Amino acid sequence: MNCTALSLTQLSGRLAEKALSSVEATEACLRRVEQVDPKVKSFIRVDRDGALRAAQASDARRAAGKTVGVLDGVPVALKDMLLTEGLETTAGSKILRGFIPPYDATVVRLLREAGAPILGKLNQDEFAMGSSTESSAFGPTHNPWDLSRTPGGSSGGSAAAVAAQLCFGALGTDTGGSIRQPAAMTNTVGVKPTYGRVSRYGVIAYASSFDQVGPITRTVADAAAMLQVLARHDARDATSHRVDAPDYSQGLEGGVRGLRIGVPKEYFGDGLDSEVGEAVQRAAKVFEKLGATLTDISLPHTRYALATYYVLAPAEASSNLARYDGIRYGHRAQGIKSLKDLYATTRSEGFGPEVKRRIMLGTYALSAGYYDAYYRKAQQVRTLVQRDFQSAFQNVDVVLSPTSPVPAFRLGEKTQSPLAMYLMDVLTLPCNLAGLPGVSVPCGFTRGGLPMGLQLLGRPFDEAGLLQAARAFEREHDFSSRWPPLTRDARADC
């Protein structure tokens, strides 16, 4: 049996029935990584021994009748932004090569406590700054649906690994769309939780008021199962909210009858690929057929969201990345004779072009004489974006839009134009400005066979409602059961 084609929840059921062991499933994933990942390049490093130890421990617990939940024994993988005790963590950057964290991020600890074997660390744009994985110091990841194209970013390695059947679920981080956009480009499900729903403790910071950790999975039920483990208050994260998470799986099949769905006109304008727009409009009609009500709405300050984000996020990055100085950990320039030269040379050698660009943008926006004109003004516009959503949610329950304005584009196609790359997040980053939850669910394929994604946005802490709506749509199609041609090139039978 090709067990790597099972969904996370299907594998969990097979493990519970003892039709499979965690060791068998983990070894199957590791074989697929060896066979397929040289083409996809989603893994930066594989922790074979650690994963097998965790799988053996899971099988022992199950034999003793002491299983610890749905994820017990299910192999997963992690974006390289998440600290892992004893396992190198680099955030896709040369400046952190050789850094071995002394502790786990809270989300990593929760996965370990849930019994999930962790296969390794996944590729990403450097410090999560990018939309294609092409800024990674380890080279780009390739989309399993077309190896000449990007899987999206910055969590492109996470999405590609799930799509290529290399793991049953993965964690990504979403600062401006970095979970949802790659999910849309790889036919996977991506969840960006409400800001504060999931702990950021032990997550390497890009922009601290935006960053949020979430799952990328094959199905909505899989995403609900992973989010259930992650959605905990954490006293070590000052931004973690004391809002109890519901049982995300309990109401998953509840349907959407009576749901009020807002369709914002600003998300269907210039730059939207015609096939993507048509697919999302068809999806909206599916919701209507299922009993939901569609309402045209306006989010007028969306037009300023991209500019606002690219003032605020780089400003926070400028501050957060100041700690990488070559003194305490990571890369250190050699042959330096002064402290000033140590800082300058270490950072010049360690950071890639996109990270340097954003540091300079952020430092400029925060500098004397420009703070009020740029940073303060951007914070004011951020409030206006938040108020747009607050107003909309007085009349609708969910906002529906495309996730990415285009399907997966070719590697190298946008690297010469930063603005063209930044525009890949134009439909996802307003959600981060407002701190809202968002879900991307597969909604079809282009005539060329490339996946497309539908985005659903909800009220703060209403991940359950979004997952229920996403599941209602998922039930109407077979998109989640389709696999890229690459998955037929190798089998990893259990």
Q: What's the whole-number average pLDDT of the chain?
A: 97
Active-site residue identified among 12, 22, 136, 154:
154
pLDDT of 441 reads 98
Residue 489: per-residue pLDDT: 64
| SS3 label, residue 443 | strand
Answer for the pair 155, 79: CB distance below 8 angstroms, yes or no.
yes
User: What was the pLDDT predicted at 1?
Assistant: 72
Question: Hey, how many other C-beta atoms are within 10 angstroms of the C-beta on 16?
Answer: 14
- Bridge partners of 441, per DSSP, are 454
Task: Tell me the mean pLDDT in the region 355-379.
Answer: 95
Domains with residue ranges and CATH for the chain? 3-257+471-488 (3.90.1300.10)
Instruction: Give residue 173's pLDDT.
Output: 98
Pair 4, 165: CB distance under 8 Å: yes
Q: How far apart are the first and last CA of the chain?
A: 6
How far apart CA 215 and CA 221 sit, in angstroms, is 11
Q: Which amino acid, residue 349?
A: E
Tokens standing for residue 484? 């890229």
CA distance 289 to 399: 17
- φ, ψ dihedrals at 31, nearest 5°: -65, -40
> How far is residue 3 CA from its own chain's centroid?
24
Catalytic residue, from 7, 178, 318, 440: name it: 178
Going 200 to 327 to 344 to 153, the CA torsion angle's sign is negative
Q: Is residue 442 predicted with pLDDT exceeding 90?
A: yes
CA 340 to chain centre: 36
Asked whether the beta carbons of 293 and 425 are under 8 A apart, the reply is no
pLDDT tens, 395-431?
999 999 999 999 999 999 999 999 999 999 999 999 9
Q: Which residues pair with 120 in a beta bridge?
A: 46
**pLDDT at residue 24 tops 90:** yes
What is the C-alpha separation between 74 and 239, in angstroms, rounded? 29
Give residues with Cβ within 8 angstroms of 171, minimum separation 6. 76, 77, 78, 79, 82, 107, 111, 158, 213, 214, 215, 216, 226, 230
pLDDT at 287 over 80: yes
**What pLDDT, in 10s, does the model give residues 128-170?**
999 999 999 999 999 999 999 999 999 999 999 999 999 999 9
Q: Using the predicted structure, report yes or no on whether residue 491 has a pLDDT greater than 70.
A: no
State yes or no: pLDDT of 301 exceeds 70.
yes
Distance from C-alpha of 174 to C-alpha of 180, rounded to nearest angstrom: 8
CB 122 within 8 A of CB 143: no
Neighbours of 56 (CB within 10 A): 16
**Mean local confidence (pLDDT), 305-324:** 97
- Determine whether 148 is an active site residue: no
Q: What is the pLDDT of residue 492?
A: 65
Q: Which residue has the tokens 């893994």?
A: 43
**8 Å CB contact between 166 and 34:** no
**Is 274 a catalytic site residue?**
no
pLDDT band for position 487 (cuts 50, 70, 90): confident
Q: Is there a contact between 172 and 79 (Cβ–Cβ < 8 Å)? A: yes
Sheet with 170-173, strands from edge to edge, namely 43-46, 118-122, 76-79, 170-173, 213-217, 189-192, 438-445, 451-458, 398-402, 260-264, 293-297
202's tokens: 């032990």
Per-residue confidence at 2, pLDDT binned at 50, 70, 90?
Answer: confident
Catalytic residue check, 18: no
Task: For 22-52, give the DSSP string.
Answer: HHHHHHHHHHHHHHHHHHH--EEEE-HHHHH
